Amino acid sequence: MFDATTILAYKGKNKAVIGGDGQVTFGHTVLKNNATKIRSLYQGEILAGFAGSTADAFNLFDMFEEQLAHRKGDLIKAVIDFSKAWRKDKILRRLEAMMIVLNQEHIFILTGNGDVVEPEDGEIAAIGSGGSYAIAAARALKGHSNLDEETLVKESLHIAADLCIYTNHEIKTLTLG
């Protein structure tokens, strides 16, 4: 994981939501508090979030969006094509970066190592330095509350921000459904 950010995605019964904090750090220094690390892609049908450097995020988001366009929004085919392209690119595969992408049917974690991971529960995924805290909070809140999907993501990210020094409370979310 990275000392960079926290991204959490939840594909619930009614909505798919992705959220991320806004903190950008360089070593032990906070450079920015309100960065946007999540995006809506392919005509608003796909959500994506990124953990890693900002410049890399723009390149990888653009590269993934090209795969989505080529595959006409088919998320499964696009993640496989993207993973192959990311892994084969001699420069990009060295990035210490991860992405989460989801629609209302599927959720995946993608890495430069060629990994395409669909979470075991098929519902919750997290990446970044506070990812473990966020996913633990989301699982607990899902099992012990009646929160809607967006509120669950926000509350889980706030819990992660209380525990992870690389995560802040400037939470942004995007929703499908």
3-47 pLDDT, tens per residue? 568 999 999 999 999 999 999 888 788 889 999 999 999 999 999
Two tokens, residue 122:
């098929």
Over range 135-153, report the average pLDDT: 96
| Distance between CA atoms of residues 152 and 146, nearest Å | 9
- pLDDT for position 1: 44
Residue 136 has pLDDT above 50, yes or no: yes
Over range 76-93, report the average pLDDT: 86
Is the pLDDT higher at 53 or at 141? 141
111 is annotated as an active-site residue: no
Three-class HEC string of 94-110: HCCCEEEEECCCCEEEE
What pTM value is reported for the model?
0.94
- Phi and psi angles of residue 169, each rounded to the nearest 5 degrees, phi first: -95, 10
Is the pLDDT higher at 27 or at 98? 98
Two tokens, residue 106:
């599927």
pLDDT band, residue 60 (cuts 50/70/90)? confident
Over range 129-154, report the average pLDDT: 96
Residue type, 131: G
Compute the chain's Rg from CA coordinates: 15
Two tokens, residue 34:
């309100």
- pLDDT for position 49: 96
Which of 5, 6, 111, 173 is catalytic? The answer is: 5
